[in-house]
Amino acid sequence: MALSARKVESAEAGKHGDGRGLFLLVKPTGARSWVLRYQINGRRRDLGLGAYPEVTLAYARDKALEARRLIMEGIDPISDRKKTKFLTFMDAASALIESKRSGWKNAKHAAQWPATLNTYAMPKLGDLDVKVIETADVIAVLKPIWNEKPETASRLRQRIEAVLDYAAAMGVRRGDNPARWRGHLDHLLPKPRLQTHNQ
C-alpha cells in the first residue's frame, strides 16, 4: 500500500514500503530516511535517497523514478554515484540526452534538446558543477529570452529542470530544483505568453 504524507510523518520504527522498491526507514529515535531497493546483474542493492523531511515523499518518489530509469539503461545508480562526484551541467545534459535518445521517435525532437541547451544554457551553465547551480543562475539564462521567445524559454526551463533532476538521481546534486516552475519560478517570472510561431 502506498504511503501518504501523514503516514510518513507518523510511522513508527521499522521499514514502510511505498511500492516498487521504495521504502521509508524509521529508526527508534524517530529519524526517517528513504531507500530504494533494486536488483541489477543479479545483485540486490539499497540506494539511499536522503533523509526526511529534507526529502519529502513526492521528492523521494521522483528520485526513485530517476534511479529506476538508470537501472533500465543497465546503469547501477550506486556505482555511478561513486564515479561521478563532480559533474558539470554540460556532462549531465549529455548523459541525460543519451539516456533518452532511444526513446525519441521524432528526429526533430531529438535534435531540439541539445540545440536549445547549447544555444542558451551552455554559455552560462555548461562548465558549472551541477551542485552549485542556483535559482539566480537559471534566471540569468531564462530572462533574456523569457518575453522575446516565450515558447523557447519555456522549453529551455523544462530541459534545465530535467538535467538537474537527472543530476539529483545520480547522487551528485541535493535539494530543490532551482528550475522548477510551480511554487518557485512562477513567483519570480511572469507566466510565459506561449505563441505557436516561436520555436
Q: Is residue 161 part of a domain?
A: yes
Same domain flag for 9 and 72: yes
Q: Is residue 44 part of a domain?
A: yes
Q: Is residue 21 part of a domain?
A: yes
Cis peptide bond upstream of 77, omega within 30: no
Q: What is the pLDDT of residue 197?
A: 41
Phi first, then psi: give them for residue 193, nearest 5 degrees: -90, 90
Q: Is residue 195 part of a domain?
A: no
Same domain flag for 106 and 71: no
Same domain flag for 97 and 148: yes
Same domain flag for 160 and 95: yes
Q: What is the pLDDT of residue 41?
A: 84
The CATH number linked to 138 is 1.10.150.130
Q: Is residue 196 part of a domain?
A: no
Same domain flag for 90 and 143: yes
pLDDT per residue rounded down to tens, the chain (199 residues): 789 999 999 999 999 999 999 999 999 989 899 999 999 888 899 998 888 887 889 889 988 998 998 898 888 888 766 555 678 999 899 888 888 777 777 777 778 888 999 999 999 999 898 988 999 999 999 999 999 999 999 999 999 999 999 988 877 888 899 999 999 999 999 987 654 444 3
Q: What is the CA radius of gyration of the chain?
A: 18
Same domain flag for 69 and 157: no
Give the residue from 28, 56, 81 where a domain finishes: 81
In three-state secondary structure terms, 29 is coil
Q: What is the pLDDT of residue 108?
A: 76
Same domain flag for 129 and 146: yes
Q: Which long-range contacts (CB under 8 A, 24 or more apart) does 35-42 make?
A: 36/63, 36/64, 36/67, 36/68, 36/77, 38/67, 38/68, 38/71, 40/71, 40/74, 40/76, 41/76
Residue range of the domain that includes 93: 84-187
Give the residue from 81, 99, 124 where a domain finishes: 81
